Amino acid sequence: MSGVADRQVIVLPARSNGQPYAVGQAWPRRLRFAAVPVLLFLLWQTSASFKLIPLLILPSPLQVWQAFLAAGASGTLTTALEVSLRRLALGYVFGVALGLPLGLLFAISPVIRKLIAPSFWFIVRVPLLAWIPFLMVLFGLGEALKLIIIAKAVMTPVTINTERAIHGIPAGWRELGRLYRLSPWVTLRRILFPATILPVFTGLRLGLVQAWAVLVAVELLASSNGIGFQLTMARQLFQLDTMLALMAVVGVIGFLLDRVLALAERRIGRRFGGAV
């Protein structure tokens, strides 16, 4: 009885949305999130143990783990990740450098929006993979092809979210700066920046997730190095244990990239009053 009472009297600080934390809910929620992966792993292990699917087609978890260790020990995995992450960083920077000013111009200049927006939306609506054959003709299989594809994947959500963030600023907030005769710099720092940082950051987060997915895809199709190329080589050599290990690495890195930015997004939301 005392154990039940102890659980009921513990009170934790409220969340940003005003709802209190429940002590007994954290672990059950995490267990619910882990239920499907654990179930899939058990089904996979059962299939391997009873050879329901030939191991040549679906290697066992142990085989995949050993392939992962072998790829790491040989340096193949490390080298491939270095190449891919360097491409990701460069393409992401280029995409952000294009998307932020473009979204700003769309929001503050009706003339520029009328001139550029139709072409922008046409480019956006053509799937990224459909651009690869055309860009291969223009730029070959070099680094320019990968960087352009990554930058395009990043630019789209960054541009859209930046424009919407600026349009979403209440008119009264801008009038507040004029009322107090704030300088443009102070208005930007004290009013416009806090009002737009969260939706803009959401665009940055979406852009990074899309960039990683597109990077792997373009390396699968048109590359001679990187994690995507190693996936292609493993498939061609029918090294399915290595292929599954590399797929797991791609998934884990994508998850970690998103979680890091999600954590930063929550902190920004708490800092500037957003409900994240």
Q: Picking from 91-95, 105-109, 145-149, which range would have the lowest pLDDT averaged per residue?
A: 105-109
| pLDDT tens by residue, 219-258 | 988 888 899 999 999 999 999 999 999 999 999 999 999 9
> Residue 36 has which token pair?
């499907």
Cα distance between residue 86 and residue 268, in whole Å: 26
CA angle (205, 207, 211) in 5-degree steps = 120
Q: What pLDDT was estimated at residue 19? A: 52
Domain assignments of the chain as residue spans, ordered by start: 61-272
Cα distance between residue 212 and residue 216, in whole Å: 6
Q: Which of 12-21, 170-179, 262-271 has the highest mean pLDDT?
A: 262-271
**61-272 belongs to which CATH class?**
mainly alpha
Question: Which tops the pLDDT comparison, 97 or 47?
Answer: 97
Buried residues in 87-103 as b, exposed as e (16+ CB within 10 A): bbeebbebbbebbbebb
Q: What pLDDT was estimated at residue 1? A: 44
193-221 and 76-108 helices cross at what angle (nearest 10)?
140
| pLDDT tens by residue, 44-92 | 888 888 888 888 889 999 999 999 999 999 999 999 999 999 999 999 9
Helix (H, G, I), strand (E, B) or coil at 257: helix
> Residue 175 has which token pair?
């009038």
Q: How far is CA 168 from CA 125, 155, 251, in A?
A: 24, 20, 34
Instruction: Indicate the pLDDT class of residue 112, thresholds 50, 70 and 90.
Output: confident
